[in-house]
A = this chain, B = another copy of it.
Amino acid sequence: MQDRTYAADAEPGSRATVAGWVHEIRDLGGIAFLILRDTTGRIQVKFEKDEMDDELVETGLDVSRESVVAVTGDVEEESRAPTGVEVVPDSIEVIAPADTDLPLDPSGKVDAELSTRLDNRTLDLRKPDVKAIFEVRAEILRAAREELRAVGCTEINTPKIVATGTEGGTELFPITYFGEEAFMNQSPQLFKQLMVGSGLERVFEIGPIFRAEEHNTPRHLNEATSIDFEGAFCDHSDAMDVCEEVVKGVYEAVEENCTAQLEAIGVADDFSVPDGEFPRLTYEEAIERINATGALDQQLVWGDDLPTEGEHALGEEIGGHYFITDWPSEIKPFYIKDYDDDETVSTGFDLMHPRMELVSGGQREHRHDHLIEGFKQQGLDPDEFEYYTKMFKYGMPPHAGWGLGGERLVMTVLGLDNIREAVIFPRDRQRLSP
């Protein structure tokens, strides 16, 4: 429809064809309004029953809500209309009539369960607040790519079908690949590391990852979007610098380009770009401060995982993003490098939002012999990972990187309650469709 005018662009004094969904029909007797909604907003179409063609009026007022229509007419100024203009139609075409029995009310007047919304995302994303979430999500991904390019990264795409999992874990979805056993990749970790040893040096990837975790929580998905960075000649501190730049750059882009969306979602007042440097606490400081909050029944000791309630108590105290560094080696993956002067402490780090962990990263083990040892200690057969480990024999520079959960980023930027609200068609323990 080349000659279509968007609702937001209809100028008084012009003729226009507007097309979209029937949002509402308000019949006031002699006069009636059809509110048409398209991707830019809503526009009022006025029917004056006594002065207009009967068939036109009938078509316009009998059409069911959420039907798709095209209306042609004169655009006139009307201060009482939602956008200050209205269309006085001389023709209306019902392009796709909608059943009157809608599974979900896109006007947003009736609340729906999340599962009903997810079953009917087409209707759900007709609501301006839900649509806005995905416009912000798109802006977040755009901004993240721009920030990563700005620090010298080349975008890469790595395979999602793999012969072996990153950590050889059991949390992999098995697939049948021409009769061979294969898996859906849980992380681009090994591939992005192989690329920092290439001439690209710094790479990023934004793509799907797959985890067969049994978790069913408001912050876990079985298919998620991972924002991955890896850089040659970087240590964990450099990687944290890049991470901080990307996260802040994302917030700045949302502030600059998504004002209307933040309003629509209803979070404009709560939104702010993080200011100041993200504090960097060592794991040791973190457990001390968590212990001091008294939030836990038991005092944490070196080597403990940080329980969620502990992280929340610390996050509340700090009131913004913060890094936890210098983790005990034993609770970080084997491919994370330990400090040279203390092998019990790892260069691994997490970026925390007060609500949850966003990022996991660290400097990587780039020494071939240490890496092979790491596989063995993990109970993995290094031979199965030879395609990866052998490249460490041919000049693998020191490198560091991280993975940032895309949906968690959207969720925390927008203050969403459930991670499923940050993905159009989520995959979880129960949900495989749509």
Given contacts A68-B397, A157-B423, is CB(A126)–CB(B174) below 8 Å? no
A396 is an interface residue with CB less than 8 A from chain B: yes
Given contacts A138-B154, A138-B156, is CB(A131)–CB(B432) below 8 Å? no
A29 is an interface residue with CB less than 8 A from chain B: no
- Select which of B119, B135, B161, B164 is within 8 A of A223 by beta carbon: B161
Given contacts A366-B96, A424-B195, is CB(A2)–CB(B208) below 8 Å? no
**Docked CA distance A75–B152 (Å):** 23
Residues of B contacting A145 in the complex (Cβ-Cβ under 8 angstroms): 142, 145
Q: Mark A400-434, 1 if CB is under 8 A from B, else 0.
A: 00000000000000000000000111110100111
How far apart are A58's CB and chain B's nearest CB, in angstroms? Answer: 19
**Contact B182–A432 (Cβ < 8 Å):** yes
- Select which of B98, B120, B141, B184 is within 8 A of A175 by beta carbon: B184
**Contact B134–A154 (Cβ < 8 Å):** yes
A388 is an interface residue with CB less than 8 A from chain B: yes
**Contact B125–A138 (Cβ < 8 Å):** no
**Contact B366–A125 (Cβ < 8 Å):** no
**Docked CA distance A22–B182 (Å):** 37
- Select which of B161, B184, B222, B433 is within 8 A of A427 by beta carbon: B161
**Contact B425–A159 (Cβ < 8 Å):** yes
- Spell out A's residues near B (CB within 8 Å): 1-2, 4, 19-22, 37-39, 66-68, 95-99, 102-103, 119-128, 130-131, 134-135, 138, 141-142, 145, 149, 152, 154-164, 173-178, 180, 182, 184, 191, 194-195, 197-202, 207-208, 210, 212, 222-223, 225, 232-235, 238, 366-367, 387-388, 390-398, 423-427, 429, 432-434
- A102-B394, A157-B208, A173-B177 known; 9 new pairs, CB 8 Å cut-off, are A96-B366, A122-B396, A138-B156, A142-B149, A161-B173, A173-B176, A174-B176, A177-B222, A194-B434
